[in-house]
Amino acid sequence: MNNEGKMSLGSFVFKINPRMIKISSRRNVVTRDIPYSGSKRTDLGSRGRLIQISGELCGSEAAADFERLRKIFDRGQARILYIPSQKPILALPKVLSLVGEDIEGVIGYSMELEESAETDGSLELYTLGNGAASLWDISYEQGISVEMLLSLNPDIRRPDNVIPAGRRIRLC
């Protein structure tokens, strides 16, 4: 799984970590004009972080890898973004771009994601096969290391224990 310090988005593991990652915290500030007296600013609180990433997909599978990444973006569902040395982020894909020259075996990309407020930091366990799964299964499906899942769910002692369907597992 993703134990090698590689970035992942859902089940897609990047073979080469991107060369640029920018994570910006944002506030939702609205300015309203008030006739004859100026304007008023209202701070509506924080918004999800904006994540900008760029790099290259390399090797004989570069075109197929870009296509797999494009399908993730086309689905428009929030996925777990794992960046080594960062806490996993539930991120909603917004923009994926093919960047640079057409060089065989190298595809440049840039992408923009937004931290999702879709849940409270927990996601319901997906029903897998017989209706139950282990942390190993969730790790593989979500692209998060088993060690990270264990640290986020301290009440689960062993990654091979079967977790009943419907149980909420913290992913980020």
Percent of the chain with pLDDT over 90: 27
Q: What is the CATH number of domain 121-172?
A: 3.10.350.10
Residue 89 has pLDDT above 60, yes or no: yes
Same fold: 1-118 with 121-172: no
Query: Which own/partner contact pairs does 24-32 have at CB distance under 8 Å and 24+ positions apart?
Result: 24/49, 24/50, 24/51, 24/52, 25/49, 26/50
With contact defined as beta carbons under 8 Å apart, do 128 and 106 qualify? no
Taking only the tens place, the pLDDT of each residue in 106-155 is 999 999 999 886 544 445 444 455 567 788 888 777 767 788 788 878 88
With contact defined as beta carbons under 8 Å apart, do 163 and 126 qualify? no
Taking only the tens place, the pLDDT of each residue in 19-44 is 999 999 888 888 888 888 888 888 77
pLDDT greater at residue 9 or residue 121: 9
How high is the pLDDT of residue 131?
Answer: 64
**pLDDT band for position 93 (cuts 50, 70, 90):** very high
118/159 Cα distance (integer angstroms): 26
Architecture of domain 1-118: Beta Barrel (2.40)
Q: Residue 34: phi, psi to the nearest 5?
A: -115, 120
Q: What is the mean pLDDT of the chain?
A: 82
Please state the domain extents for the chain: 1-118, 121-172
172/120 Cα distance (integer angstroms): 10
